[in-house]
Structure 1
Amino acid sequence: MQIQRKTALIVGVLVVLAVAAWALTRPAKTRLAAPTAIPVRVVSVVQQDIPRFVSGIGSVLSLHSVVIRPQVDGILTKLLVKEGQLVKAGDLLATIDDRSIRASLEQAKAQLGESQAQLQVAQVNLKRYKELSVDDGVSKQTYDQQQALVNQLKATAQGNQAAIDSAQVQLSYTQIRSPVTGRVGIRTVDEGNFLRMSDTQGLFTVTQIDPIAVEFSLPQQMLPTLQGLIAAPTRASVDAYMGADTDGQTGDLLGEGHLSLIDNQISSTTGTLRAKAEFNNASQRLWPGQLVTIKIQTALDKNALVVPPTVVQRGLDSHFVYRVNGDKVDVVPVQVTYQDSDVNIIKGVQAGDVLVSDGQSRLKAGAQVEVLKEPPQVIQTVDAKVQP
């Protein structure tokens, strides 16, 4: 019994000592911290004219590309152009051995001369027979036979003239001239080779480089827009770029052209519509077969309210922005009417409103904010060549 009392006394002393030690070592009572402002970056709503664009992937095509093939059989005697050389329509490219054709031409000319001489004699006799037939100096049968001989010799002379014309055409084929203005491709034959008309490979190609075209496909929903651009009094501008970067920005500008035509049908398998644009290509930056990104200006929004894409936030069922009001923010629903990688056009705010462009993840309606002091953000807009 006495032992239990001693044990209880020791436990009680230990508890008192523990409470005293906790009281002495506990931290001072913390005060409730005042709410801190959330740092954000802001941008002002700008009002300006913004062009609208539609983009797609296209392939560069030559307007004229010709495979140069022989039209007569013969030995290739001369190649007068080099690979990669620029030629004009009508320039002499190559020659084929023409000795056999020239011999045929001279033979046809000789036969024509013989026929013309015989015809001349027959016409003189016909004139004499006609005068004699008046006094019955010759029979009508003799006169008629002479008339038939004259007609026969006329036909022979015409045949000989046709043979001459044919030989002259064949002779012209021995001089191969460029049918288009363009660039000579890689040749497949050398001087001294025997060429045949049945050869499908040809000597080389001549491909027009300037002007040049780009063929591209767009969704079928763009048909009314493209039809409107084709029917417009001013041609719709089309820009061609090297490609698209991973962040959606366009690459180097390769050429500036115009929309020339849209295809006469929509692909039923892909639901896309083919269109073509034409470009002046004096610098030869566009090359046949090259893949490019095209951008077509489809409209121009006058006095649009413009913000960077980072300003607009996506809610459950609508878009919204954070507008700075003093040292707090308000949640303002907005409507996005157009967006691309550079700017968004919105409705629901006023020009000059200060909106949060960075730091929205911690914000809510009425949150206190601290605007970071830094140079004002400049909204980058796309250069547009606006037609008057």
Structure 2
Amino acid sequence: MKTKLFNIFFIALLVLSSLYLASCGGDNASVEISEENKEKLLEAYKKQYADLKAKIDALENELREKDGIANKVNLKLIETQPVVQKDFAHFIEVQGNVESDKNVSVAPEMNGIILRINVERGQAVSQGQVIAEIDAEPIRKNISELETRLELAKTMFERQENLWKQQIGSEMQYLQAKNSKESLERSLDGLKAQLKKAYVKSPISGVVDELFMKQGEMANPAMPLARVVNLSEVQIKADVSEAYVPNVRKGDEVVVSFPSLQKEMPVRISNVGQFIEPANRTFKVEMKLANKDGFLKPNTLAVVKIKDFGQKNAIVIPTFLIQQSTNGQEFVFVVRQNEKKNTVAKVLIKTGKSYGGETLVTEGLQAGDILVSKGYNEVIDGEEVNIQKTEPKISMNQ
């Protein structure tokens, strides 16, 4: 740049010299110039000199600005984000399962051939509704025989009772007649109770989820005939490490998410187990959840998030921005702005808990600091940088 300025100044001197010689003339060089003309000529030269100097200054400034821009272009380009205060919460996450206490396997109470099945899979049933009927013809025949014998026993008893009231006959005859009648009545009641077992009924209101037997097969009390479920309310059960016993209480609000359904919702702990499993050192927690739409099925995987730490108005930064030196100290890069320069500074920090890709900073940063968010692993302490300006996103509703 200095060479260019020297050339411009040299050219200006040549121009001034040429003007001077032209004004004097070649053949009339010996002619003396009057004092008045000399003053006018001097004024003209000064004016020309001032014009040239202004042009020289303008060119120097232009070249200086170009050199500055070239230097700026060579600086590393970074992106930044401000440090802000916000509420921070840390959660422990444990896996759980969806369960239902109204998931019932319905089994017959007696042996026999299945005469008919009155429901289908997916059919809604009410409590006490007959699901299937079992052949109980032998019981019906026994009931009919007992009813005939009971009629005779009642007649005999009534006669003996009338005679006894008239003090005719022995007391033993009266008691035998009474005992015979009552014995037959008890036997008849027992057979009728057995006959009721021939009708397999749903113990709960719900939906028939599965039928395990078919019409014509032999029913057996050891084998379920159907499964009825009611998923209007389900329970989420999870095992929590004993290390978190002080952090878990009945009534605490937790967040339950279902990865397969991409759903998340807050619920409250309905029960906390009082027993530590010796095998895995955990205790049970249970949450009840309304399930009117039925989208939660038994054994659906759930993730239970239990809050164990929280702080309001905390300094929280993205975890990936935190770097570690060889001596184990954690640090981040921030931007210091002075005059027209943006300089990177290395700041040592102390951190607390991390969750969800964010880390709590306890020392070293304050709200308003400018973090290097992109290019943080390419800069060094004290380096001048260029900051890339990000344009704000324009909402489609505007």
Partner of 2:255: 238
Contact 2:257 2:304 in 1 (8 A): yes
Which residue of 331, 354, 359 maps to 1:320?
A: 331
Match runs of 1:122-201 below 5 Å = 122-129=160-167, 145-146=170-171, 148-197=172-221, 200-201=222-223
Contact kept, 8 Å, 1:257 with 1:280, in 2: the verdict is: no
8 A Cα contact 1:74 1:195, kept in partner = yes
Given that 2:323 and 2:331 are in contact with CA atoms closer than 8 Å, whether structure 1 keeps it comes out as yes
Structure 1 residues 305 and 181: alpha-carbon distance in aligned structure 2, compared to 1, 3 A threshold: farther
Residues 306-315 or 77-86, more deviating: 306-315
Task: State whether residues 253 and 266 of structure 2, in contact with CA within 8 Å, keep that contact through their aligned partners in structure 1.
Answer: no
Match of 2:234 among 202, 212, 215: 212
Distance change in 2, residues 1:240/1:103 (3 Å):
farther
Alpha-carbon distance in 2 for matches of 1:116, 1:370: 111
Q: Deviations over 1:343-374 (max 9, x none)?
A: 33322232232222232213343333332211
Amino acid of the structure 2 residue aligned with 1:113: E
In the TM superposition, what is the alpha-carbon distance from 1:67 to its structure 2 partner?
2.0
Q: CA deviation at 1:51?
A: 4.0
Matches within 5 A, 1:232-381: 232=251, 235-242=252-259, 252-253=262-263, 257-298=267-308, 300-315=310-325, 316-326=327-337, 327-348=342-363, 349-375=365-391
Aligned to 1:88: 126
Please report how far the alpha carbon of residue 253 of structure 1 lies from its aligned counterpart in structure 2 after TM superposition: 0.9
**Structure 2, gaps ≥5 residues long:** 1-69, 394-398
Give me the whole-angstrom Cα distance separating, in 1, the residues matched to 2:99 and 2:193. Answer: 33
Matched residues, percent identical?
22
The alignment of Structure 1 onto Structure 2 pairs a total of residues equal to 317
Shift of 1:43: 1.7
Structure 1 equivalent of residue 100 of structure 2: 62
Describe the shift of the 1:68–1:188 C-alpha distance in structure 2 as closer, same or farther (beyond 3 A).
same
Alignment counterpart, residue 85 of structure 2, candidates 47, 60, 66: 47
Q: Measure how far apart 1:300 and its partner are.
A: 4.6
Q: Kindly provide the amino acid, as one letter, of the partner of residue 180 in structure 1.
A: I
CA contact (8 A) 1:313 1:320 kept: yes
Question: Where in structure 2 are the equivalents of 1:94-109 lying within 5 Å?
Answer: 94-109=132-147
User: How well do the aligned residues superpose, as a CA RMSD in angstroms?
Assistant: 3.0
3-state SS of paired residue (1:283) = coil
8 Å contact from structure 1 (residues 320, 333) kept in 2: yes
Deviation (angstroms), 1:167:
1.9
Separation in 2, partners of 1:152, 1:319: 100
Gaps (5+ residues) in structure 1? 1-32, 130-137, 244-250, 378-388
The residue that corresponds to 2:225 in the other structure is: 203
For residues 46 and 152 of structure 1, the distance between their equivalents in structure 2, rounded to whole angstroms, comes to: 97
2: CA distance, partners of 1:109 / 1:336 = 87
The structure with the larger Rg is 2
